[in-house]
Amino acid sequence: MIRARKIAGALGAEISGVDLAKPLSGNDFGEIKRLWLEHLVVFFRDQTLTERQYMAFAQQFGEPIEYPLVKGLPEYPKIIEVKKLEHERAAFGAIWHSDTAYLERPPMASMLLARELPPFGGDTLFANMYLAFESLSDGMKALLSGLRAVNSSAKADVSKTREDRVRSDGKDAKTYSVEHPVVRTHPETGRKALYVNPAHTVRFAGWTEEESAGLLKYLYELQVRPEFTCRFSWQPGSIALWDNRCAQHNPVNDYHGHRRLMHRITLAGDVPR
């Protein structure tokens, strides 16, 4: 029997009572999908999956897609290694972000499977963008709902977090840039969520970077208030599945000198509206 336990007030639930190495029944898939939409990110423990089984689980939720900047595994190009090696200082994607918001169709969801973990640290933080938007005044909601933002893959802070992986596993260099609404409506729940992040958002469309900086800084700080977040501590075989349309995440880089290896799959999404 599938059971769920909330891990924080804002978002996040651990799901137990399911073996993801086996195909999900229609009822089990429906219940996991319901819990995922309710809690934005769901976690599974003690899942021993081969790459083939991991891909099969992902395909039940959506269409896996390749990551644009880093090559995937040779036999499974839509699974990428999110890793930090013992000698490296930067952790891949260690900044608050929504995955690949610089694409015209950012992924609907992302999932991580823990393969190798450091003896301490390496947790991941998640934040609820519904709550961030809902906390704003009516005036600010109205202002932001009329704005679009420019998102780029080339922002300096996030580029630094990818340098080691691009050097070892990178694809041909290309810069991606796109405009998306600052407030997007979730296509399944109908709820509104903030959709700007410090890793990829450059400025508001029609504004200069200087004009945009103050308001963006306020939104970035608002989005990650403790009451809007949860924290997940990994174990080998843990899986996280998050809704990229209404949640941000940030892996904590606090385990220098140790190795951390995760396998990530992203699922195709739609054009934010």
Mean pLDDT, consecutive 10-residue stretches, the chain (273 aa), reads 97 98 96 98 97 98 94 96 95 95 98 98 98 98 98 87 78 88 98 98 98 98 98 98 98 97 98 98
Say which of 203, 249, 260, 263 is annotated catalytic: 249
Instruction: Give Cβ neighbours of residue 270 (< 8 Å, ≥ 6 apart).
Output: 105, 108, 187
Catalytic: 249? yes
The single residue of 97, 184, 203, 260 carrying the catalytic annotation is 97
112 falls within a domain: yes
Decide if 272 is inside a domain. Answer: no
**Domain tally for the chain?**
1
* Inside any domain, residue 168: yes
User: Among this protein's residues, is 231 annotated catalytic?
Assistant: no
Quick check: is 273 catalytic? no
User: CATH code at 160?
Assistant: 3.60.130.10
* pLDDT given at position 164: 73
Could you tell me if residue 38 is inside a domain? yes
Q: Is 28 a catalytic residue?
A: no
Domain membership of residue 273 (yes or no) is no
Give residue 168's domain range: 3-267
Catalytic residue, chosen from 99, 186, 200, 260, is: 99
Q: What is the pLDDT of residue 126?
A: 98
- pLDDT value of residue 165: 80
DSSP string, 3-55: EEEESSSSS-EEEES--TTSPPPHHHHHHHHHHHHHHSEEEE-S----HHHHH
Within a domain: 225: yes
pLDDT at 168: 79
